[in-house]
Structure 1
Amino acid sequence: MTQPAIVRAAYLQVFIDLLREIGVPVTRALERSALPTWIEDMPDAYVSLPLAIDWAVRGGRDVEPMEFGYRAAMRQSLATMGSEFRRALLDSPTGLVRMRTFLSAAVREDSSLSTRSWRERDHVRLVCNTLRFDGGPSACLAEWGIIQALVDTMRSVAGPKWYPEELTFVSSCVPSATVFEAYSNTRIMVGFPHTSILVKAADLARPCAERVSAASDPTVENWEMDFTARLRAVLRPYLGDGYPSINQTAEIIGMSSRTLQRKLRSLGQTYTGILAGTRIEQASKLLSDSDIKIVDIALALGYEDPQNFSRIFRRMTGMTPSAYRQSVLAEL
């Protein structure tokens, strides 16, 4: 049986704000629609995605679809996503893990999505297809929200100036001048079989050294970010001595292991995730020095078996240590 296509009400809020700015009487339009009139007061409730998108299309009919979808998507932020989704993303040691988490968790935010990824030589294509729309204006609006969420998640790893190599849309709507200007170094293709972005494998291999900044997620307090950052700093000197247990780490920072576990749980983190992320972060830094042998890096990070280090590094980054080193040195 086909599942209903639903989405968190917070997703529609960006369209509501934009429609108000261009002079649409939103309250009256909601009263005349099949959408609930209380939608702005309950961002975590779920509404019909086709109804929400069709309503937004009608309201923004005086604006080019690509332009309207882009302008709405630019209003999104990490805070637009559900709290469990945000925490899952933040508990990611590398870009690859963060994007895989995004693809697996996105379907809980939007049940109409079908997600997957595949390798294309030295790139990875990240796909989020919206199953309920054809190639018309409705698809365009839905796709922009997905595309910008993918881009923003990658920017949380690679920095705010990062851009994908390629954007593809199922919609056949022509991109506006604003879109071409914003993505001037990105290939934009419409009428494509998939909604996707194309990312360099080396960008996905980057470590997520810290949590996403408070600027992009106002629901995260600074002191919470400082805790995980400081915990990583404490762990770094001990990596060469093996695998520091949570009991050892708790004793070092002056709290019980139960308190440490409870604290990490409240931040959506795990000790294993923090430790793995710290190791990958350090490995990435050491691999940028061509004079250090990979086997010595493995030993320096407490791996007794260099092959085990290579397996874990590849699983977390999508690249072998030697391939990652080559990609880093090629950019210098």
Structure 2
Amino acid sequence: MKTLHLINAESLLPIISYVKLQKLDVTALLRESGLPFDLADADCSIKAVANYQYWQFIHLCQKQLNWPDFGYRMAKDIKLASMKPIFKTVCDKSLTLHDGLIMLIRFMSHLSTHATYDLAYQKSGVWFYGTGVEIESDALKPLEQMSLANMIGFVRYYLGDTWQPEAITIQHQDSSGETRKYFPQALVTELQAKTGIFINTAHVGSINARFNLASMLADSDLNVNFSKKLYQVLSQYAGLGFPTINKLSELIGLSLRQIQRRLVKEEVSYREILNQVKFDIARKQLSQSNTKIIDISQQLDYTDASHFSRAFKKMANMSPKQYREIH
């Protein structure tokens, strides 16, 4: 067994659509993988599948097509469709590549308790790598190709579509040299413990050209309902890490003094707005989902479930558990 980060199981749906275009018998492949063959239907409502079935399906598709670069080719042809919603969630709210990497790690940790991304810092840059999921050796190659393409695709959101990492580590033996074909500028090292890409220090702090958060506050009506706009901005950070007021100042291009002056004018503090955001998100989660209380507390940046429960009780006059039972 080897370990590799994987994207959400719902990513199987665009992959199925892609495989259909290759004229494969998708229903037979799903059945052989142990997956519900309803997944082949356009109106299928299935949202999650077992990881090993997902891996088996990818492996069987590669075998039938006999493409050594199946994972890379598929990621390129479907334009990373499986990860784009996640990329957008993160990239729209991060000012620099480093901000985005940190947010992505947090966000993916909420989607899966056993698979995530991580960073390893060095003087000349950072390693961005996937970790946590065990994969059968036979299925590793196409899945690792997909995962690597997704990681590089994420960085390209910030650095442009032509960017290539300086170095790549992969877990499988790439005898056909597909990784080097797709990323000729990178130093590729095989049979490593983790799948990762190296990002130079000069690029880690690069500004996100797609960043648009500042426009939500920096308009001609900046002095009108500033606290309401700020509430809307902060609501988007659940699961990504709520910014401090100093970080917010950097994100929206206003000085700390300017932000505080506007909040004083509306007789509210940054902490009060943030607490209200957390409380409203918690109420929605408790009443409309089965998310565990400890998971809600992590998404809202509380140190532990007890801290979250105390904060919630202060606002609602009842514990999260009591609120869920009533609603």
Q: What band does the TM-score fall into relative to the shorter chain?
A: 0.5 to 0.7
Gaps of 5+ in 2: 260-327
- The counterpart of 1:230, out of the listed 205, 209, 215, is 215
Residue 137 of structure 1 contacts residue 171 of structure 1 at CA under 8 Å; is this kept in 2?
A: no
Structure 1 contact 165–199 (Cα < 8 Å) conserved: yes
Are 2:105 and 1:103 equivalent residues in the alignment? yes
- Distance, in Å, in 1 between the alignment partners of 2:208 and 2:7 is 28
Q: CA deviation at 1:274?
A: 5.3
* Aligned mates of 1:258, 1:100 — CA distance in 2: 26
Shift, 1:16, TM fit: 1.8
CA shift in 2, pair 1:55/1:117, >3 Å: same
Residues 66-117 of structure 1, C-alpha deviations (whole Å, 9 max, x = no match): 4011112224557524857742443212111111222232244455425322
TM-score by length of 1: 0.62
**Residues of 1 paired with 2:226 and 2:252: CA distance?**
19
Name 1:264's counterpart in structure 2.
Answer: 233
Amino acid at match of 2:215: R
Report the Cα offset of residue 174 of structure 1: 2.5
- Cα deviation for residue 169 of structure 1 reads 1.1
- Using the TM superposition, give the Cα deviation of residue 51 of structure 1 relative to its aligned residue in structure 2, in angstroms: 0.9
2:249 aligned to 249, 260, 275, which one?
A: 275
Change (3 A) 1:43 1:141: farther
Shift of 1:259: 3.7
- The 1:174–1:120 alpha-carbon spacing in structure 2 relative to 1, beyond 3 Å, is farther
Corresponding position: 1:190 with 2:164: no
**Is the partner of 1:47 in helix, strand or coil?**
coil
C-alpha distance 61-53 of structure 1, shift in aligned 2 (>3 A): same
Residues 198, 63 of structure 1: alpha-carbon distance in 2 compared, 3 angstrom cutoff: farther
Amino acid at match of 1:230: S
Residue 8 of structure 1 contacts residue 47 of structure 1 at CA under 8 Å; is this kept in 2?
Answer: no
Q: TM-score, normalised by structure 2?
A: 0.62
**What is the deviation of 1:43?**
7.5
Report the CA distance shift for 1:44/1:276 in structure 2 as closer, same or farther (over 3 A).
farther
2:202 counterpart of 1:202: yes
Alpha-carbon distance, 1:7 to partner = 5.7
Q: CA–CA distance in 2 between the matches of 1:127 and 1:27?
A: 34
Structure 1 segment 1-332 matched on structure 2, within 5 A: 8-39=8-39, 41=43, 45-64=47-66, 66-75=68-77, 80-81=82-83, 86-134=88-136, 136-177=137-178, 179-211=179-211, 228=213, 230-231=215-216, 252-253=221-222, 255-264=224-233, 272=245, 275-279=249-253
Backbone CA RMSD of aligned residues? 3.7
Q: Alignment length, in residue pairs?
A: 248
CA contact 1:170–1:194 (8 Å) conserved in 2: yes
Instruction: Classify 1:66/1:276 alpha carbon distance in 2 versus 1 (closer, same or farther; 3 Å).
Output: farther
- SS at structure 1 position matched to 2:168: strand
- Other structure's SS at 1:197 match: strand
Q: How far did residue 64 of structure 1 move?
A: 4.9
Cα separation, partners in 2 of 1:39 and 1:7, compared to 1, 3 Å:
farther
SS in 1 for 2:135: coil
Q: Is the 8 Å Cα contact of residues 50 and 132 (structure 1) preserved in structure 2?
A: no
Distance in 2, matches of 1:254 and 1:79, equals 39
* TM-aligned CA distance change 1:187 to 1:82, over 3 Å: closer
Is the contact made by 2:62 and 2:142 (CA closer than 8 Å) also made in structure 1?
A: no
- In structure 1, what is the equivalent of residue 313 of structure 2? none
Distance 1:111 1:139 in 2: 20
Code of the residue aligned with 2:160 in structure 1: it is G
Tell whether the 8 Å contact from 1:87 to 1:268 is kept in structure 2 after alignment.
Answer: no
Rounded to whole Å, the distance in 1 between the matches of 2:12 and 2:67 is 16
